[in-house]
Amino acid sequence: MPRLPDTVDSGELDAGQPLGVYVHFPFCSVHCPYCDFAVEVRDEIPHDRYADAVITEIAARRAWFAGAPMVSIYFGGGTPGLWRPSCVARIVESAREAFGAPPASALEITIEANPGELDAAQSAALRAAGVNRLSLGVQSFDDRLLGIIGRNHRSDAAIAAVQAARAAGIDNISCDLMFGLPEQDMDAWRRSVDTLLALRPDHVSAYALTIERGTPFGALDRARRLPRPDDDLVAAMAEWGRDALAAAGFAQYEVSSYARPGRRAVHNSLYWRLAAFLGVGASASSFRPLLDGSGFRFANPRATNSYLRAAASDRGSPAPAHAEKRTARDLESEAVWLGLRTSDGIDRLRHRQRYGLDPIDGREAAAAHCVRAGWLVVSDAGLTVTPSGFLFADEVARRLWDRSPLPPRPLRL
């Protein structure tokens, strides 16, 4: 595994790419049985100590991203909505100072929160700290299903949380909904979507339950004790949700993401465009793109206590638990599959300018198959997925992941 270089002399940052800062807050009040994120449930959250560690890390990493314009700060987790708002405010200011960012009001500053843990006072304090976008983990409006998936809130708490956030002046609200849940049928999914639409959110993340091996749900699934809908029903749920959201004025701009006009997630869009992002906090990952088309990825230790000890040590920040140099060819392949997760697709000219390669060259046969299947549209300007292509995004990515060593004669698509 390549060692993360000690200095930025290892390659010039592609400062033309905007920067997002991701802050991982690992603490939750419960650990959901489907979740494999780096989260912890503690009786006492070390609010200030953890904030001190994050601020120390921002200072230590700032030189790596100097010159890239910061456009977003995203507090994820875990449940960062539990964090003391004064700590959130300190981190917002430290990131702004480190990267010469505009006032907080000019940035997209998102915090994830759970219903039942966000009241009027907490919402107002977070807004005062600079938060202007809320990502609310609703997941379902069916109380029975919420119990099955281990959530610690009821459906009416989600409604109250949206109302509290709006009253506090947070006017950009995203809600998560899950489908393909154990014992969920189409009627339950429709009711959840309809209830959500009545709240008029600005953004919706609608995604299928993924069973991760190391979770309680993973163990139940292997024992065939998790009564999940079959693949056909899950696909039907995805299609019905897509159509209902479209009828309500939402555009699907990524496989699981829907937004009203002007409300696309600025921060998440950075990931899909391979722009720069700095991840701080336990387990957080970062990407530093270089001018030659290559880049570095690195990630912090997953264990919270290890992260806190490293921040308090003479080093001042944790040594990455993982670091790798990605070649321009590696990232060109990533750019193809990530770009085809979005409705914007891949701009062929920009792709050639960044990587020196046309996204079609060496992928002609695979692209032609995807076109014939109705998943992909290829034009002189770019490559875009179709609505049905979103349902087969993993298959499209698998076929187009890498170019053949000896590109065949180009096909006319």
Is the same domain home to 33 and 181?
A: yes
- Helix ranges (H only) for 104-171 are 120-128, 143-148, 155-167
In terms of domains, do 349 and 261 share one?
Answer: no
Task: Determine the average pLDDT of the residues in 252-256.
Answer: 97
Q: Alpha carbon of 179 to those of 93, 100, 147, 252, 383: distances in Å?
A: 37, 41, 15, 16, 29
- Residue 366 to residue 404: CA distance in whole angstroms: 10
* CB-facing half-sphere around the CA of 7: CA atoms within 13 A: 2
Q: Domain of 17: which CATH number?
A: 3.20.20.70
pLDDT over threshold 60, residue 407: no
Say yes or no: 24 and 148 in one domain. Answer: yes
**Alpha-carbon gap, residue 344 to 385, rounded angstroms:** 9
Mean pLDDT, to the nearest integer, of 389-396?
92
User: What are the structure tokens assigned to 413, written together?
Assistant: 């698509």
Q: Could you tell me if residue 134 is inside a domain?
A: yes
Domain boundary among 271, 296, 315: 271
Given a cut of 60, is residue 259 above it in pLDDT? yes
Residues 6+ apart with CB under 8 A from 51: 83, 84, 87, 90, 91
Residue-wise pLDDT for 317-326, tens only, equals 777 888 899 9
pLDDT of residue 208: 96
Please state the rounded mean pLDDT for residues 78-106. Answer: 92
Q: Are residues 219 and 362 in the same domain?
A: no
The total of other beta-carbon atoms located within 10 Å of residue 204's CB is: 26
Do 240 and 123 have their domain in common? yes
Examine the domain organization and report whether 86 and 180 are in the same domain: yes
Residue 197, in any domain of the structure: yes
* 265 and 356 housed in the same domain: no
pLDDT at 314: 64
**Residue at a domain's end among 242, 271, 300:** 271
Asked if residues 277 and 286 have their Cβ atoms less than 8 Å apart, the reply is yes
For 375, the domain range is 345-400
Q: Per the domain annotation, does 206 fall within a domain? A: yes
Note whether residue 77 is domain-resident.
Answer: yes
The structure tokens listed for 149 are 């998936």
Query: At 246, which helix (H) or strand (E)?
Result: helix 231-247
The amino acid sitting at 55 is I
**Are the beta carbons of 92 and 104 closer than 8 angstroms?**
yes
DSSP code, position 331: H
What rounded mean pLDDT belongs to the chain? 92
Full-model pTM: 0.94
CB 150 within 8 A of CB 226: no
Asked if the structure places residue 279 within a domain, the reply is no
Query: Is 409 inside a domain boundary?
Result: no
* 349 inside domain: yes
Residue 4: predicted pLDDT: 52
Q: How many structural domains compose the chain? A: 2
Whether residue 257 is found in the same domain as residue 362:
no
Tell me the mean pLDDT in the region 150-165: 96
The reply to whether 360 and 260 lie within a common domain is: no
Among 77, 161, 78, 178, CA closest to 126: 161
Q: Are residues 69 and 178 in the same domain?
A: yes
**Percent of the chain's residues with pLDDT above 90:** 84
Chosen domain end from 225, 253, 271: 271
pLDDT for the residue 321: 83
